A and B are shown apart, each in its own frame.
Chain A
Amino acid sequence: MEKEQYQQLEQNVTPKPPYLKNVAKAFFVGGFICAIGQAVSLFYMIFFNFTEATAGNPTVATMVFFAMILTGLGLYKRIGQFAGAGSAVPVTGFGNAVISAAIEHRSEGVVLGVGGNLFKLAGSVVLFGVVSAFFVALIKYILVTIGVVSW
């Protein structure tokens, strides 16, 4: 059997991902996580001195804390299998990526294992966040300097 012929067969046999179902699951779980985030925000606004503008930071930190508990108990991967991007895209997914790598590499010690592998999965997010922020700000700076837009 030729390669092309086999690839044809493979295409026929392999099931397509259930797009609609996956999208629906991602929407509801992702939305639900964000709604919890909103509740946490509200909590910080009512009981602490945070405004709508400043509540984002403690909210994100708290969500990552929740992610730690769920990751440690092995629940986050089950949510992830169900929800896909619904649990990967919220900041809890970023936390899950960092924390799961940390837990995984604990056996190689705190310095080489945890320290060296903490950003094994999430490192690309930090990289692209910082680099894109740099270029976006640079472009905007140039545009402002030549007078196309204002800050």
Chain B
Amino acid sequence: MVMTFVFAFIIGGIICVIGQLLMDVGNLTPAHTLSTLVVLGAILDGMGLYEPLIDFAGAGATVPITSFGNSLTHGAMAEAEKHGLVGVLTGMFEVTSSGISAAIVFGFIGALIFKPKGNID
């Protein structure tokens, strides 16, 4: 079990390093970087490579934003397998990405209890 933590750390760290390189060397804004990584996650899942990565690194693969592209693609492909072409469209949110729903709910709650503050430390 302990090794899973080590792998989660390393794989998660490496995905973040890819993001940092996109920002620093590629001169991308955070929004461009995250979008690129999401597309990357979707493509990796299309090639059947993302699930093995999750099996290997656990949260190291599910916590980075790439897993968002993975879960959407996974849903679409699972439905397409069952229901054909229509499934591609309907299956997307079948395997729900809890990231979105959590972000919406907590965003709403956060907006009610916090105020923006221009502090620096």
Contacts and interface: CB of A to CB of B under 8 A. Distances in A.
A118 B11 CA distance: 30
How big is the B interface, by class?
35 or more
A92 B60 CA distance: 13
B59 A34 contact: yes
A97 B108 CA distance: 13
A64 B60 CA distance: 15
Contacts of A144: 81
Contact of B64 (A39, A58, A91, A97): A91
Contact of A101 (B12, B16, B72, B107): B107
Interface string B82-108: 001100110110001111111110111
Given A59-B63, A125-B38, A133 B92 contact: yes
Contacts of B100: 126
Q: Which of B63, B84, B85 has the most CB of A within 10 A?
A: B63
14 contacts: A26-B13, A30-B64, A56-B71, A59-B62, A68-B110, A74-B119, A85-B16, A85-B19, A90-B63, A128-B36, A130-B92, A132-B38, A133-B75, A134-B92
